[in-house]
């Protein structure tokens, strides 16, 4: 792979805190290597800002290997940037050309208020899980792990849904700011397993109620969530969610 260096203009959303109004600022960055990750480019910019006596850009990030789900931000209008099935931290600078202007913004959704600059509050996701995204089994209650065989296809489908990293890109990509892909991934993960059966109906009803309470929008099947998801969570999970919800609404004990 040939490496090259580039100079860029980074146009980034600056907002002091949740109460003050934010706006875009542009910064030049020089000698960025095509081998850097996108966040390493932001690191370089921040070091430069600190040396110049400015406030560095606040952004969420932690594992930098695409699994913790903490990094966010739109890059040139796309959640996690242009690469398919990718998180911001795994986007590398060879995706950009010398002289480009790169626009960076925080997730835009009513249920994800901005904390500072590119950081948003995604605790709504935790509260949706609290509403029922678990199997109620206290420690020490379990039977032998092989006591209950699980059809491999179902186990694999459950795993595919459980790969969700809770980053919120699905919400950010959706014109309605819907959290249906996130929610459906959890409902599918647990509904596909026999262990999830006893709470199957109450789980979906309670989680959907909490999602509505948090102010996420409705799903209108545009598919933007699936196209953006760094873990390629399938939109078929939303179909499953709708089915689960309908059955639960009609048959659950009230």
Partner 1 sequence: MLDAKIPSGPLDDKWTEYKGHCKLVNPANKRKLEVIIVGTGLAGASAAAALGELGYKVKAFCFQDSPRRAHSIAAQGGINAAKNYQNDGDSVFRLFYDTIKGGDYRAREANVHRLAEVSANIIDQCVAQGVPFAREYGGLLSNRSFGGTQVQRTFYAAGQTGQQLLIGAYQALERQIALGNVKMYARHEMLEIVKIDGKARGIIARNLVNGELERHFGHAVLLCTGGYGNVFYLSTNAMGSNTTAIWKAHRQGAAFANPCFTQIHPTCIPVSGDHQSKLTLMSESLRNDGRIWVPKKKDDQRKAIDIPEEERDYYLERRYPAFGNLVPRDVASRAAKERCDEGYGVGTSKQAVYLDFADAIVRYGKIEAGKEGNDHMSMEDIIVLGKEVVKEKYGNLFDMYEKITGENPYELPMRIYPAVHYTMGGLWVNYELQTSIPGLYALGEANFSDHGANRLGASALMQGLADGYFVVPYTLGNSLADEIYNKAIETSHPAFEAAEKEVSDRINVLMNIKGKQTVESFHKRLGKIMWDKCGMARNKEGLQQAIQEIQALKKEFWSDVRIPGSINEMNPELDKANRVADFIELGELMCHDALNRNESCGGHFREEFQTEEGEALRDDANYMYVAAWESKSAHEWNLVKEPLIYDVVKPSQRSYK
Residues 21-50 that bind partner 1 (CB under 8 A): 33-37, 39-40, 43-44, 47, 49-50
Q: Could you say which residues in the range 133-152 bind partner 1, by CB under 8 A?
A: 133-146, 148-152
d(CA 195, CA 137): 9
CB atoms within 10 A of CB 229: 25
8 touches partner 1 by CB under 8 A: no
Q: Is 169 left (phi over 0), alpha (psi -120 to 50) or beta?
A: alpha
17 lies in the site for partner 1, by CB under 8 A: yes
Alpha-carbon distance values, 108 to 21, 25, 80, 238 (Å)? 14, 17, 13, 22
- Please answer whether residues 80 and 225 qualify as being in contact, where contact means their C-beta atoms are separated by less than 8 angstroms: no
Q: What DSSP string describes 86-141?
A: --GGG-BGGGS-TT-EEEEE----TTS-EEETTEE--HHHHHHHHTT-S----TT-
Which residues 159-218 are close enough to bind partner 1 by CB under 8 A?
A: 159, 162-163, 165-166, 189-190, 193, 195-196
- To partner 1, the closest distance from the beta carbon of 146 in angstroms equals 5
Shorter beta-carbon distance to partner 1: residue 216 or 219: 216
| CA-based nearest residue to 87, from 67, 117, 114, 62 | 67
78 binds partner 1 (CB under 8 A): no
Near partner 1 by CB under 8 A: residue from 19, 21, 51, 254: 51
Q: Which is nearer to partner 1, 124 or 224 (CB)?
A: 124
- What's the alpha-carbon Rg for the chain, to the nearest Å? 21
Site string for partner 1, 88-117 (x = CB under 8 A): --x-x-x--------------------xx-
- For partner 1 (CB under 8 A), the number of binding residues is 80
Residue 70 makes contact with partner 1 by CB under 8 A = yes
Residue from 4, 26, 28, 55 binding partner 1 (CB under 8 A): 55
Is 220 one of the binding residues for partner 1 (CB under 8 A)?
Answer: no
Output the smallest distance, CB 7 to partner 1, in A. 15
Q: Looking at 75, 119, 204, 233, which residue binds partner 1 (CB under 8 A)?
A: 119
Q: Residue 165 carries which DSSP code?
A: -
> Of these, 155, 218, 247, 252, which contacts partner 1 (CB under 8 A)?
155
Closest CA to 4 of 89, 104, 95: 95
62 makes contact with partner 1 (CB under 8 A): yes
């Amino acid at each position: 792979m040939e490496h090259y260096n580039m100079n860029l203009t980074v146009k980034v959303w600056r907002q002091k805190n949740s109460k003050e109004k934010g706006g875009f600022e542009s910064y030049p960055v020089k000698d960025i290597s095509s081998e850097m990750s996108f966040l390493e480019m932001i690191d370089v910019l921040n070091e430069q800002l600190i040396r110049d006596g400015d406030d560095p850009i606040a952004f969420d990030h932690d594992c930098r290997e695409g699994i913790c789900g903490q990094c966010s931000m739109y890059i040139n209008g796309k959640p996690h940037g242009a690469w398919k099935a990718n998180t911001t931290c795994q986007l590398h600078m060879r995706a950009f050309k010398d002289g480009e202007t790169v626009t960076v913004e925080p997730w835009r959704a009513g249920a994800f208020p901005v904390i500072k600059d590119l950081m948003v509050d995604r605790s709504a996701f935790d509260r949706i899980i609290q509403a029922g995204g678990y199997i109620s089994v206290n420690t020490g209650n379990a039977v032998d792990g092989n006591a209950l065989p699980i059809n491999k296809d179902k186990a694999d489908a459950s795993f595919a849904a459980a790969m969700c990293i809770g980053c919120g890109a699905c919400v950010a990509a959706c014109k309605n700011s819907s959290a249906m892909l996130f929610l459906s991934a959890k409902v599918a993960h647990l509904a596909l397993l026999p262990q999830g059966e006893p709470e199957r109906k109450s789980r979906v009803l309670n989680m959907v109620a909490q999602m509505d309470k948090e102010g996420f929008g409705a799903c209108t099947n545009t598919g933007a969530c699936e196209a953006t998801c760094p873990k390629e969570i399938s939109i078929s999970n939303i179909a499953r969610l709708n089915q689960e919800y309908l059955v639960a609404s009609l048959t659950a004990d009230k």
